[in-house]
Amino acid sequence: MGEDVERRKFTRQDRHEFRQKVQDCLDALAIMLADETFHVGEPQIGMEIELNLVDDDMAPSMANAAVLDAIADPDYQTELGQFNIEINVDPRPLRGASIAELETDLRRSLNAADERAGTSGSRLAMIGMLPTLDEEHFEHRWLSANPRYDLLNQQIFAARGEDIELKIGGVRLPGAAAAEDLDIVTDTILPEAACTSVQLHLQVAPDEFASYWNAAQALSGVQVALAANSPFFAGRALWHETRIPLFEQATDTRPQELKNQGVRPRVWFGERWITSIFDLFEENSRYFPALLPVFSDEDPKAALAEGKTPSLSELRMHNGTVYRWNRPIYDRSGDGHHIRLENRVLPAGPSVVDTLADAAFYYGTVRALADADRPLWSQMSFDAAEENVHSAARGGFDSMLYWPEVGWVSPQELVLRRLLPMADAGLAAYGVDTAVRDRYLGVIEARCLAKQSGSVWQRNSVVARERSGDKRDRALAGMLGDYVTQMNSGEPVHTWTN
């Protein structure tokens, strides 16, 4: 959600000056890219994981301020809704056994945080969408206390000019007579807080960024199908990864008329393969008006002339309010600056080992695709890559995806026959130990063979409970209780029983 913002009102002059400052930042960025001054370090794994808070009855716990006080760890931070927090994982090298060490460290940190959260009557749930959330939890009073969230809420609705309608057609549960639909109206952006994700970061050399971004875009649909974990929202059984369409709708600044005109949405897959990272930053500035036009006194080009590293704060602020599924990041570290690729398509959970397996599969496959002699994106339309994401989000393992030289194929078939060897080769190129590659890619292989993602397990669990006589709200709470227990067991989701 970006940096802290104190200013509460913006003038027309603010928006004019902010636009000019973003252009100044773009000019400075172009100079830095031409001068090849970016730091390119050893490839590292870095991530952010958004978490939900629940009480003993598995209802949302609106207590993130108290929970963060109890955890007392700077790695944990606030998020949009009072039922959310986030953990930021310090980056570490990809090579060797680093991924396995990260699993151990992350599990230890989450265990400690969960124990401390218990002192305020809350528990942590690592899940793509909290199934016990309902419309009553989207009232303005449940926004987190940080002023930036309320300001963002105000600015989105000011740009839109009307309430947000959420419409999603569901996927029929096993044995159900009909699919369920969502059609509600909200006057806050809090439904966006229901969309809890894992964000994977990778530092990339600027001249390689386009290949890595294109590869990540092409892979996104496969990631969604493999890791779907968001089947329930507001009491309805919707898509396997409902987080995708809900996030697209819950932060949409366009009324229907602008949609009809083809105005681009702020939650955006994009519209073309790129040739430079500059393409993405330039598109963001050309197509999207500022939501938070907060500007600094820095002159980025003057800073460059003085041999300093500019913060490009306006470009970073604006970039943080355009929600690409694969987003470019400019950042400073020490006396230098670097570029990162942020992958945002994965839901949180179900378990720590599943999260690290999804990360290993992503890092390895993206590396292999980026290094390929014949780029995948030269054989595949951009529209096909985008359609894969929505098809995977709707159907999960039951979807059909398009892949060059293969045609239409199920996600599990594509992964087992083609992508797992690529992922292994990509991880090997990063210097990841063989035993580590085997462990995490083995989890992906077993998940494909079992055809059981978090979403599949959740849907089957609720069906079983309803067949035993539970009403939907009781079935969802019971399922979530079982989910949290098995999440904490440390076992991957393909082994979970209902």
Q: What is the pLDDT of residue 210?
A: 97
Residues written for the chain: 498
Residue 219 · residue 269 · CB < 8 Å: no
Residue labelled with tokens 């930036």: 148
pLDDT attached to residue 2? 44
CB neighbours of residue 286 within 10 Å: 10
pLDDT tens string 179-195: 999 999 999 999 999 99
Main-chain dihedrals φ then ψ at residue 340, nearest 5 degrees: -125, 150
Residue type at 146? N
- The 10s digit of each residue's pLDDT in 295-304 is 899 999 999 9
User: Mind listing the pLDDT tens digit for each residue in 196-235?
Assistant: 999 999 999 999 999 999 999 999 999 999 999 999 999 9
- Indicate if the pLDDT at residue 7 is higher than 60: no
Q: Indicate if the pLDDT at residue 3 is higher than 70.
A: no
Strand ranges for 57-196 from DSSP E? 76-78, 84-93, 123-125, 164-169, 181-186
Q: Determine the residue type at 339.
A: I
Q: What is the mean pLDDT of residues 327-351?
A: 93
Rounded mean pLDDT, 74-102: 95
- Please enumerate in sequence order all residues whose Cβ is within 8 A of that of 359, keeping only pairs 6 or more positions apart, or say none: 45, 47, 99, 198, 200, 440
The pair phi, psi for residue 247, each rounded to 5°, is -65, -40
pLDDT confidence of 425, banded at 50, 70, 90?
Answer: very high
Query: What percent of the chain stands above pLDDT 70?
Result: 98
Going by C-alpha positions, the residue among 249, 332, 329, 319 that lies closest to residue 290 is 319
- Classify 410 as helix, strand or coil: coil
pTM (2 d.p.) = 0.96
DSSP states along 24-78: HHHHHHHHHHHHT-----S-EEEEEEEEEEE-TTSSB---HHHHHHHH--TTEEE
Between CA 129 and CA 233 the distance in angstroms is: 7
pLDDT at 127: 98
Let me know: does 476 contact 462? Beta carbons within 8 Å. yes
Question: DSSP state, 416?
Answer: I
Q: In whole numbers, what is the pLDDT of the chain averaged over residues?
A: 95
